[in-house]
Amino acid sequence: MRFGVIGGGGKVGQLRVQTIHENVDTQLVAILDLSEDSARAVAGDAEVFTDLDQFLSVEMDAVIISTPPHFHEEACLKALAAGCHVLVEKPFSSSAESCRRMIDAGQKANRHVAVGFNMRYYPAFAYVKDAVTSGKIGQLTHVRAFGGHEGTVHFTHDWEYRVPMTGGGATWDIGIHVTDIVRHILGEVTSVYGVSSETVWNLEGSEDNAIAIFRNPEGIAATYQATWGDWRGYQFVIEAHGTHGMVRGSYAPMRNLLITMPEPGGKQTVTKVNYFGIEVREKLKSWKTTCTISFAEELCDFLKVCGGGTSVRSADANAGLRSIEIADAIKQSSLTNKAVELPILHPVRA
Ligand SMILES: NC(=O)c1ccc[n+]([C@@H]2O[C@H](COP(=O)([O-])OP(=O)(O)OC[C@H]3O[C@@H](n4cnc5c(N)ncnc54)[C@H](O)[C@@H]3O)[C@@H](O)[C@H]2O)c1
């Protein structure tokens, strides 16, 4: 498949570009970036553009969008109109309405719109999902999820914590990955009660802490926290508990804990998984290596989906939309002190 990357000169876009160069089934034909030099540095034989319409005049089958979120919609709608399948970075956009417009356009154009929730591919979180799906912990009873870091000092660019570009704060940043993985485990989230605050960084509209309870249609609950006030640095933990055990995935460092029992309270089998290879590689190189591997796996699934495949780990456009609806619901619930109910979404092309 011939790919173009929008924002391909950026921190994440360059990693996306690398995965296209490295995949034998994909060819990079064009990059669009306001910074021509950073795009050229990774383009290889691909053409480089600073204008969206000129970029889309190149024949291509799919586009990856890796700009700041407020530009995702314009780029996505034009790429769909040009006949491309589209993979959009998280957060899907800077508002839920904007996500819905992209979903509608994808349906009308009969093209796939996928959302880049690459943390589904991090070995520790894939392990949690697979342990739940395979029934290892019995019937799912509850989920506990946390994602946090030390806030604005963590970011490379200041747009990353400014609402006009991002849509919101911690729940749109690290929290959006956490939301997605909780939803990936629960099946769907249809009820949200939350409390959020902006007391640490005082950035209007960018919540720096959010604590919430989600429920799926069966009433199974998840507790959730996303924060920009976790002074230990970057932490991401998902725990799923069931009638016959529990499973935890965490990063960084990448770790799993699985406890299983033949019956509730029975003799426990404890499995601990340490990913020393990943830890060493990240120490010697960078966290970007882990991220790039997940992008490569996500790209393979995107190719499968575009080819009609269904059995994939990747996130569809509904995952992108619902994660933002949940972020909005936490804020709304915090203002009203009432739970927000969310309808089941109509299935979409992945
Ligand atoms: N999946 C992940 O784990 C992950 C991690 C970090 C960021 N992200 C997401 O990736 C996207 C990019 O983040 P980043 O950290 O690489 O940002 P970045 O600022 O490093 O890169 C963005 C690039 O887009 C270009 N750009 C901006 N506006 C443009 C426009 N109108 N037209 C063309 N190019 C434009 C910029 O010149 C820049 O090179 C965001 O959506 C972000 O939320 C995802």
> Which pair of tokens denotes residue 307?
């080819």
Please tell me if the CB atom of residue 175 comes closer than 6 angstroms to any atom of ligand 1: no
pLDDT (tens digit per residue) in 17-68: 999 999 999 999 999 999 999 999 999 999 999 999 999 999 999 999 999 9
DSSP letter string, 238-292: EEEEETTEEEEEEETTTEEEEEE-SSTTS--EEEEEE-HHHHHHHHHS-HHHHHH
Q: What is the mean pLDDT of the chain?
A: 97
Structure tokens at 322: 């619902």
| pLDDT above 70 as % of the chain | 99
What local confidence, expressed as pLDDT, does residue 310 receive? Answer: 87
Q: Is 207 helix (H, G, I), strand (E, B) or coil?
A: coil
What's the 204 CA to ligand 1 centre distance in angstroms?
22
Angstrom distance (rounded) from CA 137 to CA 173: 30
Q: How confident is the model at residue 78, as a pLDDT?
A: 98
Q: Is 38 in the pocket of ligand 1 (CB under 6 A)?
A: yes
pLDDT tens-digit profile of 160-171?
A: 999 999 999 999
For residue 336, is pLDDT > 90? yes
Ligand 1 pocket test, pick from 5, 6, 12, 14 with the greatest ligand atom count within 8 Å of Cβ, gives 12
Q: Is 13 in the pocket of ligand 1 (CB under 6 A)?
A: yes
How far is residue 116 from each of residues 157, 162, 176, measured CA to CA in Å?
20, 21, 11
- Among 100-104, 124-128, 231-235, 317-321, the minimum mean pLDDT is found in 231-235
Indicate whether residue 157 lines ligand 1 (CB < 6 A). yes
Q: What is the mean pLDDT of residues 10-21?
A: 98
179 in helix, strand or coil?
helix
* Rounded Cα distance, 144 and 138, in Å: 16
Q: What's residue 350's pLDDT?
A: 59
Q: What was the pLDDT predicted at 51?
A: 98
- Looking at residue 293, its pLDDT comes to 98
Residue-wise pLDDT for 172-191, tens only, equals 999 999 999 999 999 999 99
pTM comes to 0.97
Q: Which domains does the chain have, with CATH numbers?
A: 2-118 (3.40.50.720), 119-341 (3.30.360.10)
The tens digit of pLDDT for each residue in 238-249 reads 999 999 999 999
pLDDT at 105 exceeding the cut of 90: yes
Contacts of 58 (CB under 8 A, 6+ apart): 4, 29, 30, 47
Q: For residue 258, is pLDDT > 80?
A: yes
> Do 114 and 316 form a contact (C-beta atoms < 8 A)?
yes
